[in-house]
Amino acid sequence: MTKKEKSAELVNKYVHVFSCPICKSPMKVTHLKSLVCLNNHTFDFAKQGYVNMMTRSANSHYDKELFKARQKVIMESNLFALLHKRISEIIIGNMNALKGEIIIFDAGCGEGSHLQRILDECKNETFAGIGLDISKEGIRMAASKYKETAWLVGDLANSPLADQSCHYILNILSPANYKEFKRTLVPNGLVIKVVPRSNYLKELREALFDNTDKSSYKNDETVSLFNHHFHLVDVLNLSYIKKLTQTELINLVQMSPLTWNTSEDDIDRIINRGISEVTVDLDILVGINKLTQGGRI
């Protein structure tokens, strides 16, 4: 069976959670080849094992090299291992509030490594992972590496998922669309959003911005917006220092949005500065729909 057919077979198990991004009607898998809605809008599975469900053209800042670096940082350096452990504990701790199959949706999944690590930590075969990102390059890489998850190229503002279809929505260091999150979250389901705190990667910020205003960061507005849309069940603060090898530092610099507009000379200067450790400083925001009654962690 090809990657394309295996992906189609996997999606077919959970096809009831999909909704056409054009007309919002239910969908079905046909001939292990395509996702087709009641109005015959058709989205073909790619040979790499993902589905492109974008309905408009879109550009992404993220390229193949950035995703390669990101995958190495997440899967090899274990920079975020404690984050993955904490999120898996939240997921497992809330299971009694849910019924039936468990859909974990990573909104803005990039190349899929955060979701894969969390699923590995949960160690529960009844969990189904769905990853969505606007970047075809990221989703292509995710599909080629992680075979047991449904990978979608799609628009966070128009997600191809049905109403109340997701038990957990992950939003890790990524933009959010709270209207869609509220629409797709089941009663008693959780939104788990990870946002940087003031000391997140401060060593890179200081090297890049030389103690200007950009060298510091505050997440007050992001947290306030989350509170506006969801009932905040919990906030977990995660702060630690991780030692880095030179190779890990190079990968971290290459993956960080902080360096998007930085010249190659400045990037080389940062890498050769002798940074041997970085600070991981994050807030894990846990919320439920405000209309939901109950729900515990």
Under DSSP, the state recorded for 80 is T
- From the list 126, 162, 115, 154, the residue with the least C-alpha distance to 15 is 162
Helix axes 136-145, 3-13, angle to 10 degrees: 90
Per the listing, tokens 């990221």 go with: 138
- Residue 263: CA atoms inside 13 Å, Cβ hemisphere, count? 3
Does some domain include residue 297?
no
Domain count, the chain: 1
Does some domain include residue 106?
yes
Residue 172: per-residue pLDDT: 98
Indicate the residue type of 101: E
Residue 211: per-residue pLDDT: 55
pLDDT per residue, tens digit, the chain (297 aa), is 899 999 999 999 999 999 999 999 999 999 999 999 999 999 999 999 999 999 988 776 678 889 999 999 999 998 999 999 999 999 999 988 787 789 999 999 999 999 999 999 998 888 999 999 999 999 999 999 999 999 999 999 999 999 999 999 999 999 999 999 999 999 999 999 999 999 999 998 888 876 555 556 678 899 999 999 999 999 999 999 999 999 999 999 888 877 777 777 877 888 888 899 999 999 999 999 977 544 444
Residue 234: per-residue pLDDT: 96
Residue 257: per-residue pLDDT: 78
Does some domain include residue 262?
yes
Residue 297: per-residue pLDDT: 40
Residue 166: per-residue pLDDT: 96
- CATH code where residue 95 lies: 3.40.50.150
Residue 295: per-residue pLDDT: 43
CA-CA distance, 37 to 20, in Å (whole number)?
Answer: 6
Asked whether the whole model's pTM tops 0.75, one would answer yes
Does some domain include residue 295?
no
Does some domain include residue 93?
yes
Lay out the sheet containing 166-172: strands in order across: 51-52, 150-153, 127-133, 102-107, 166-172, 185-196, 277-289, 230-243
Give DSSP secondary structure letters for 21-36: TTT--BEEEETTTEEE
* Pair 142, 132: CB distance under 8 Å: no
For residue 177, the enclosing domain spans 3-289
CA 206 centroid distance within chain: 27
Does some domain include residue 157?
yes
CA-CA distance, 156 to 180, in Å (whole number)?
Answer: 7
Does some domain include residue 97?
yes
**Backbone angle region of 49, left / alpha / beta, with phi > 0 → left and psi within -120 to 50 → alpha:** left
Does some domain include residue 258?
yes
Residue 296: per-residue pLDDT: 43
Q: How many CB atoms lie within 10 A of CB 127?
A: 21
